[in-house]
Each structure stands twice: as structure tokens, then as C-alpha cells.
Structure 1
């Protein structure tokens, strides 16, 4: 029984972390895109390791525009790393000459390193450099993280 469970977990991890290609056909916001797969199905991908401002939040449109400019209409390679609470696939997306989209967003100052779900400390360094240069959202000394923005929005609704 233990062998079967082990084999199932191994197969799941191989499938979950396998490389997939698709064409970005929609950018929902700075950290969420829809790709068209080779079998003509669509898959919504939530970018791993980054959290961009919400659409109604300062720099939300800028983050969406950055992501659109980088990947809309282009073929990307992605690695599935899990599912979020909305059942979207969390993925590491690469484009161009192996640019990591989440890192490029953080580097441009248009998203926060999502430290709650990432162990990639290099992204912390990338964010610190963007902060030092006051790029994007870091030009606002009162920038509010998306997770705080969503929490405050919930409180106002309650």
C-alpha cells in the first residue's frame, strides 16, 4: 500500500512540475493570464511568487500593461506548481530568452515578492533593488500590498 501511495505521489509531482507550452490569449491582471494549450483548451495561470496590485489599486493597470506587453499573444513555457483557492493553476512562466515573468514584474516595481508562498530569496533582492530605485509602485512611499488592500476591502464590505 505504501508503495502505491509513493508511486502516485511521484507521478503527481512529475506531472505537476512538468514543462508545458501555450499561447497567452488573455491577461486578466498583472499576475493572472489565460493560455491556449496545444489541445485547444484554455488554462488560467496565476503567476507564482509575485502578487501584483489589484485592478482598482494604484499601479494595477500598470502591472496588467507590463504583463500584456511581455507575453500577450506570445508562446510561453510554464511549470505548474500547484492550485490556489480559486482553483487556478499556479505557474512559473518563462518567455523570450528564458525570462522569468514574475521576476521581471518585481524588477520593474510592479509587483511584490509573494514571500508567503515563495522560498526564492533572490526575488527579495530584486524587490529591494526596485525599492531603492523607486521604480513603479515603490515611487509611492505609502504603497499598499495587494494582500493588505484585499483585507481592507473586506473590512469595508462587512
Structure 2
């Protein structure tokens, strides 16, 4: 009976889309060419236009979360490569059009994923009570049967998982930037260390050259002093010799003949 009700509802929507421009703007029919995660799909309409849709009223586990792969596989099995009808319900925060999608067998894809425990009911502020009750009943049935995510001991909402992943990504970018900064500082220090080492080596060579020049000057000074002492000694010897000759000559001249 619920299945028949869904079919009648969608039949009415399709008829209205044919006769009313307002409803025609809210209905898209086409073939699904790709799915992403458990709640995003892309379809191409009869005019070749691509429509990227997020399934309204639900939030499926992200890839990497428990049952994330199962949700994507279930969505692909229901709609990928098949013609579907989508009722557009505005835009999501990420800019995708939100829609309820019905597959060829008449199942409402959004609701079917909730029934299988492969998606949470995600409230709209303006969600009609009839829609809310329908999805809440599906959640209650899945919880009671411990279907999919409801069999887990610990649950993490996809929005919390995404926030945690984004925080981890921000930290990763921060660490990469910090490490890059450290590496850059290391490179700068390395360059300056080489320059400082070269400068110190030049200073050391200059000090060694200066010390060598000082030693050479000292040796030359000592040599000059020694040469002066030797010259003075020779001069003293010559003066003593001449004085001795003069005394001898004087003594010889003073003797009686």
C-alpha cells in the first residue's frame, strides 16, 4: 500500500509538471550517469544538460565511515545508468540542488536508503510534516531491525565526521606550512652558515698571515740587531788595535837614543 501511495504521488507530480510551468521548473527527468557517496548523483536530461543532485531529507555515511561504501553501492544499484525522475527542493549548503528521486521501479530512493539503515534523516527547516513523519517512521523501523548503521555500537553523524576531517586537513596544512617554514629557515641558516664559515676561514687565514708576518719582522729585527752588534764589536776591536799601535809608537819614541 505505501508503495502504491508513492507511485500515485509521483504520477500526480509528473502530470502537474506537464501542465503547470511552476511544477515543470521543479521536476527533472534524465539518466543517472554517476553517483558520489551515498547521497549525491548526476543525471543528464533529454536536452543533454547535466544536473548534480543531493538527495533531500537524508545524510548518508561518508566514504571512510562505516557503511559509507554500502550506501554508495546501494545508491548505484538503484539508479546508476537508469532513468529517474527528480523533484527539486532548493539548494543545499554546498550549492547542489536538493531533490527527492524516484527510480524506475517506483521506489523513492531517499526513503529507501533510510529504510535500509544506510542514511540518517536530515531535517529541513521547512520540511512538511507529512515528509517528516514518513522519514521518521523509516528511521524507527531501521533502528528496530538494527539495519545498517543502527547495528553499530557507536554512531558518528556524517556532518561531525566531515567537520573532524576538515579540522584534520587544516591541521595537516598547518603542519606542512610549519615544516616548510622550518625547512626554509634551515636552508637560510645553511646558506648563512656557509657564508659565516667562509668569513671565519678568511679571518683565520688573515690572522695566520699576520702572525707569520709578525714572526718574520721579529726575525729580521733580531738579525739587524745582531748585525749591528757584530759591526760594533768589529769597530771596537779596530779602535783597540789602533790605540795599541799608537801607544806602542809613543813608547818607542820616548826611549833615549
Pairwise TM-score range, normalised by the shorter structure: 0.7 to 0.9
From 129, 133, 156, the equivalent of 1:121 is 133
**Residue among 142, 155, 160 paired with 1:148:** 160
Whole-Å separation in 2 of the counterparts to 1:77 and 1:116: 21
Secondary structure, counterpart of 1:137 in structure 2: helix
What is the TM-score when the length of structure 1 is the normalising length? Answer: 0.85
Corresponding position of 2:45: 37
How many angstroms apart in 2 are the aligned matches of 1:14 and 1:107? 28
Counterpart among 79, 85, 93 of residue 101 in structure 2 = 93
Change (3 A) 1:57 1:12: farther
> 2: CA distance between counterparts of 1:88 and 1:138?
28
Indicate the residue corresponding to 2:231 in structure 1. none
Verify: 1:62 aligned to 2:70, yes or no: yes
* Separation of aligned partners in 2, 1:45 and 1:104: 17
Q: Displacement, 1:60? A: 0.7
Greater relative CO (CA pairs within 8 A, separation 6+): 1
Supply the distance in 2 between the matched residues of 1:111 and 1:67 (Cα, whole angstroms): 11
Structure ID, larger Rg: 2
> Number of residue pairs matched?
147
Query: How many angstroms does 1:55 deviate by?
Result: 1.0
Out of 53, 62, 84, the residue aligned to residue 76 of structure 1 is 84
Query: CA offsets, 1:26-73, max 9 Å, x none?
Result: 011110000011111211010001100111211111000000001111
Note closer, same or farther for the CA distance 1:84–1:72 as it changes in structure 2 (3 Å cut). Answer: same
* Structure 1 unaligned blocks of 5 or more: 1-10
- The structure where helix makes up a greater share of residues is 2
Flag structure 2 segments of 5+ consecutive residues without an equivalent. 1-19, 172-257
Q: Could you tell me which of 129, 138, 146 is aligned with 1:134?
A: 146
| Structure 2 CA distance for aligned equivalents of residues 139 and 147 of structure 1 | 19
Structure 2 residue corresponding to 1:25, chosen from 28, 33, 40: 33
Report which stretch shifted further, 110-119 or 96-105: 110-119
Alpha-carbon distance in structure 2 between the residues aligned to 1:40 and 1:68: 21
TM-score (norm 2): 0.54
Report what 1:111 is aligned to: 119
